Amino acid sequence: MAEQPPKHLPVRVEPIVSRPDFATIGGLIVAFGGILGGLVLEGGRIKDVAQITAACIVFGGTFGAVMVTTPFPVLLSAARKLNQIFFDRVQAPHRATEEIISFAEARKHGIVSLEQDADNVPDQFLRKALSLAVDGTDLDALRQMMELEISMDEHRAEAEAKVFESAGGYAPTVGIIGAVLGLIQVMKHLENIDEVGRGIAVAFVATVYGVGSANLFFLPAASKLRSRIHRATQVKELMLEGVVAIIEGLNPKLIRIKLEAYAREANSFGSSAK
């Protein structure tokens, strides 16, 4: 009886899950806790800086300025990326490497055998690259298309990060505007020295809001998104090189060695997904 060829087993792919970014959450807790704790230790009260009027001026003015400078589609896209500041959805490099090695093992049954498995890949970039490979796309054309997609994704993500960076630039200035508006109101009551002192204190809360929001959230958020951009780009480059190696028919062990360099570089940007 003739020996039957080995049966192709489906490649196991794991879904990409969101994981809380404890560095962001912990950083905000430490920052606000330190500032408010210092205020209380100095004999102040938290309600001294809880001014609704100042918040309306600073955040309303800041968001308005950002809307003027940013195209509306980019603004909406940046708003949707707000959750990425607190949650990490970038696939871990070692997981991407293991998926590619699994596809390389399945490649022994022929590149066409990957068609069904490719449709189940959760990562859109890897799914597209594998689909092009299965369709028999020329290797150079495949590389050019996927590199173009990487570049476009990077530019789009950079524009989204600049939205938060712009907010961080406008917030302190708007805070000064809020302080000046408060002082204008104070000048109307110079006859009552008690009201003047209280009014000056309230007026400067807007400056605290502007400087604080810029340096504790907006600018750090822009930096966090940029770190996500860099790591996502490295992981996509890893995936592309892995798919190219699969098309070339390289041994899975050689593919692993080749991808380890990309994984190390991607991990250098800080991967919280294990």
**Secondary structure (DSSP) of 88-140:** E-SPPHHHHHHHHHHHHHHGGG-GGGGHHHHTT-SSHHHHHHHHHHHTT--HH
- Average pLDDT of the chain is 84
Q: Work out the average pLDDT over 63-82.
A: 94
Residue 213's pLDDT is 95
Q: Work out the average pLDDT over 13-18.
A: 62
SS3 at position 20: strand
pLDDT in tens, 79-118: 998 988 998 877 778 888 888 888 888 777 777 667 777 7
Residue 2 in this model has a pLDDT that exceeds 80: no
* Higher pLDDT, residue 76 or 248: 76
- What is the share, in percent, of the chain residues with pLDDT greater than 90? 39
- Give the Cα separation of 35 and 197 in Å (integer): 23
Residue 11 in this model has a pLDDT that exceeds 80: no
Q: Whose CA is closest to 86, among 176, 160, 19, 158?
A: 19
∠ CA 240-144-226, nearest 5°, is: 60
Q: Work out the average pLDDT over 112-140.
A: 83
- Give the Cα separation of 247 and 240 in Å (integer): 11
Q: How confident is the model at residue 183 (pLDDT cuts 50, 70, 90)?
A: confident
Please answer whether residues 127 and 121 qualify as being in contact, where contact means their C-beta atoms are separated by less than 8 angstroms.
Answer: yes
Q: How confident is the model at residue 6 (pLDDT cuts 50, 70, 90)?
A: very low
Residue 250's pLDDT is 85
Residue 273 in this model has a pLDDT that exceeds 60: no
- Give the Cα separation of 259 and 262 in Å (integer): 5
pTM: 0.81
Residue 3 in this model has a pLDDT that exceeds 60: no
Q: What are phi and psi of 273, to 5 degrees?
A: -90, 115
